[in-house]
């Protein structure tokens, strides 16, 4: 089974500067990979390259079986990216933002209500303009967009930042549930303890390259104390990648 | 492409309806510009009537700059442009949707400004067909070219000042043709105003084609 992410000697430049300088990384389907590293190590750039937002200049780069040198428009619909910014329209309500994102991404509109409920944004908050939300509520709204889209690959940059304890735990449960449905998750975090508890593998990034954890290395399912969904087993070192869900298989095929 | 265009246009118009920037800021600004032109030419009412078509289109041009800057400012705020790219929408559809939303806003402002030149300057609207045809062709050209230059400057830190510098020279033919056509439509010249529609239509076609074909690359580079 093809890896969800397969990078070999990947280089990416921003204004001529190599933000990714020869990245090697394999991520198996249904893995939860935590990216660790100092500020400026290249974690965000790696996530953006995986999303097809940062152009790859050299090396071999495939995500969900799609070559990143080709047309990545269809691939992007299969990926959910949570960046440092919420990526929402300030003047639209939380619900308007979700409905636009779902319709734009050819998702299922009936998932909007459930996603809002899951992030505690139902009721009055759903009709509030995003500009009037607190930082934590904006973060939850941005996560709700990804939950509603239900992508195959979740790329999360500091997903717990700005969230209170209750919603951090809730997010861990959401991630575990997504992996249980066949998704793959890669997230960058500075919170070592929470990362270790959530991830099936930790990858260290430094100087724009992966310096530790290139290949799927740690067996066993992800463990999230707050996780309330079934979690599929993660990849085992040296073993074939686990069978994906029917939804994922249809896309990869 | 068309579905994506309708979706993006609907979103942009909803953003404008909620923020009320067009109604509360751009429209009063447009009327203020007309009023100031009126004060400037107050000594000579005949000259004011003669200059009314040009003043109208200069005011429309200023409003277009504001509307286009606003259209891309909402995408720049809070990383919304990344969300748009990640949605997988057809870039041509995004271009057409954003241009259509700008065109709708400009059309509403043109109605307001048209009433303004009648009330404030005493202009006499005669050839309604020519007036509307000119407005439609010029508005499409303004919106399409503005959307192309808007995305070109969107990723730059100096976009607020760069956009007018890029656009104003390019829009000179639109200003010239629309003014001449309106002069004929207001009975201020004996020229055949319809001959200018061809220039406006050509301009609109060129920039709409450029946008449909090139917006994807410009969006990725922004």
CB-CB: which of A76, A129, A138 is closest to B18? A129
A-chain residues near B220 (CB < 8 A): 55
The stretch A197-222 carries a mean pLDDT of: 74
Beta-sheet pairing, A209-212 with A201-206: antiparallel
Which of the four pLDDT bands, split at 50, 70 and 90, describes residue A175? very high
Instruction: Return the closest-CA partner of residue A222 out of A11, A8, A32.
Output: A32
Mean pLDDT lowest among B94-103, B116-125, B199-208:
B116-125
Q: pLDDT value at position A214? A: 63
pLDDT at A216 over 80: no
Residues 167-206 of chain B with CB under 8 A from chain A are none
Measure Cα distances from A95 to A100, A145, B14, B96 in Å: 9, 9, 13, 24
pTM, rounded to two decimals:
0.83
The stretch A83-98 carries a mean pLDDT of: 89
- Is residue A94 within 8 angstroms of chain B, CB to CB? no
Mean pLDDT for chain A overall: 81
- Is residue A207 within 8 angstroms of chain B, CB to CB? no
Mean pLDDT lowest among A19-23, A231-235, B30-34, B172-176:
A231-235
Residues 100-129 of chain B with CB under 8 A from chain A are none
Q: pLDDT value at position A138? A: 92
CB-CB: which of B8, B19, B88 is closest to A91? B19
A-chain residues near B14 (CB < 8 A): 92, 96
Which of the four pLDDT bands, split at 50, 70 and 90, describes residue B56? very high
CA distance A30 to A244: 7
CB-CB: which of A76, A83, A92 is closest to B88? A76
Which of the four pLDDT bands, split at 50, 70 and 90, describes residue A248? very low
Q: pLDDT value at position A223? A: 44
- Is residue B19 within 8 angstroms of chain A, CB to CB? yes
- Is residue B79 within 8 angstroms of chain A, CB to CB? yes
- Is residue A86 within 8 angstroms of chain B, CB to CB? yes
Which of helix, strand or coil describes residue B146? Answer: helix
- Is residue B18 within 8 angstroms of chain A, CB to CB? yes
- Is residue B89 within 8 angstroms of chain A, CB to CB? yes
CB-CB: which of B14, B77, B85 is closest to A76? B85
B101 with B17: CB under 8 angstroms?
A: no
Q: Between residues A43 and A212, which one has the greater pLDDT?
A: A43
A-chain residues near B78 (CB < 8 A): 85-90, 130, 138
Q: pLDDT value at position A49? A: 93
Measure Cα distances from A165 to A170, A190, B132 in Å: 9, 16, 60
Q: Name the DSSP class of A57.
A: -
Q: How far is CA A87 from the centre of its chain?
A: 14
List strands edge to edge, sheet with A32-36. A79-82, A153-157, A184-188, A32-36, A201-206, A209-212
Where do runs of H (alpha helix) occur along chain A?
43-50, 73-76, 94-104, 111-118, 135-149, 165-180, 192-198, 246-252
Q: pLDDT value at position A217? A: 54
- Is residue A15 within 8 angstroms of chain B, CB to CB? no
CB pairs < 8 Å spanning A and B: 73
- Is residue B158 within 8 angstroms of chain A, CB to CB? no
CA distance B91 to chain A (A): 9
pLDDT tens for A29-38 read 999 999 988 8
Instruction: Return the closest-CA partner of residue B159 out of B81, B55, B60.
Output: B81
Disruptive mutation site among A49, A64, A100 for chain B (greatest number of B CBs within 10 Å): A100
Q: % helix / strand / coil in chain B, to the nearest 5?
A: 85, 0, 15
Which of helix, strand or coil describes residue B203? Answer: helix
Disruptive mutation site among B10, B16, B88 for chain A (greatest number of A CBs within 10 Å): B88
Interface contact A104-B18, CB threshold 8 A: no
The stretch A220-245 carries a mean pLDDT of: 40
Q: Which of A47-51, B44-48, B49-53 has the highest mean pLDDT?
A: A47-51
Residues 36-75 of chain B with CB under 8 A from chain A are 74
Disruptive mutation site among A14, A102, A104 for chain B (greatest number of B CBs within 10 Å): A104
What is the DSSP annotation of A141-171?
Answer: HHHHHHHHH--SEEEEESTTTT--HHHHHHH
Which of the four pLDDT bands, split at 50, 70 and 90, describes residue A241? very low
């Amino acid at each position: 089974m093809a890896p969800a992410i397969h990078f070999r000697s990947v280089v990416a430049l921003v204004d001529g500067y190599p933000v990714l300088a020869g990245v090697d990384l394999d991520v198996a389907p249904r893995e939860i990979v935590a990216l660790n590293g100092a500020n400026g190590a290249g974690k965000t750039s790696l996530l953006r390259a995986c999303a097809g937002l940062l152009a790859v200049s050299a090396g071999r780069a495939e995500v969900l079986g799609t070559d990143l040198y080709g047309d990545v428009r269809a691939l992007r619909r299969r990926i959910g990216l949570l960046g440092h910014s919420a990526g929402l329209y300030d003047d639209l309500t939380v619900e308007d933002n979700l409905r636009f994102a779902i319709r734009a991404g050819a998702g299922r509109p009936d998932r909007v209500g459930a996603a809002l409920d899951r992030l505690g944004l139902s009721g009055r908050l759903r009709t509030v303009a995003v500009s009037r939300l607190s930082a934590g509520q904006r973060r939850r709204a941005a996560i709700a967009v990804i939950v509603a889209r239900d992508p195959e690959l979740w790329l999360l940059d500091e997903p717990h930042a700005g969230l209170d304890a209750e919603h951090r735990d809730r997010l861990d449960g959401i991630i575990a549930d997504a992996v249980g449905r066949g998704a793959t998750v890669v997230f960058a975090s500075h919170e070592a303890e929470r990362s270790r508890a959530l991830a099936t593998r930790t990858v260290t990034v430094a100087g724009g390259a992966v310096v530790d954890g290139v290949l799927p290395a740690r067996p066993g399912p992800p463990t999230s104390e707050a996780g309330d969904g079934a979690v599929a087993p993660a990849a085992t070192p040296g073993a074939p990648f686990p069978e994906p869900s029917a939804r994922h298989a249809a896309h990869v095929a | 492409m068309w579905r994506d265009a309708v979706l993006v246009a609907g979103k942009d118009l909803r953003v404008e309806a909620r923020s009320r920037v067009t109604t509360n800021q751009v429209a009063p600004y447009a009327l203020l510009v007309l009023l100031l032109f009126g004060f400037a030419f107050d000594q000579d009412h005949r000259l004011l009537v003669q200059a009314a078509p040009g003043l109208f289109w200069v005011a429309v041009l200023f409003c277009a700059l504001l509307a286009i800057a606003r259209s891309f400012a909402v995408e720049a705020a809070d990383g919304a442009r990344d969300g748009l790219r990640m949605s997988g929408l057809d870039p041509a559809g995004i271009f057409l949707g954003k241009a259509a939303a700008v065109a709708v806003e400009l059309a509403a402002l043109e109605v307001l400004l048209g009433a303004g030149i009648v009330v404030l300057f005493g202009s006499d609207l005669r050839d309604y067909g020519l007036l509307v045809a000119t407005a439609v062709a010029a508005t499409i050209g303004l919106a399409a070219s503005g959307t192309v230059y808007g995305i070109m400057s969107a990723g730059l830190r100096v976009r607020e000042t760069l956009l007018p510098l890029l656009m104003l020279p390019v829009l000179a033919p639109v200003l010239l043709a629309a003014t001449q056509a309106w002069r004929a439509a207001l009975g201020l010249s004996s020229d055949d105003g319809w001959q200018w529609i061809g220039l406006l239509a050509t301009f609109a076609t060129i920039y709409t084609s450029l946008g449909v074909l090139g917006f994807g690359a410009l969006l990725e580079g922004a």
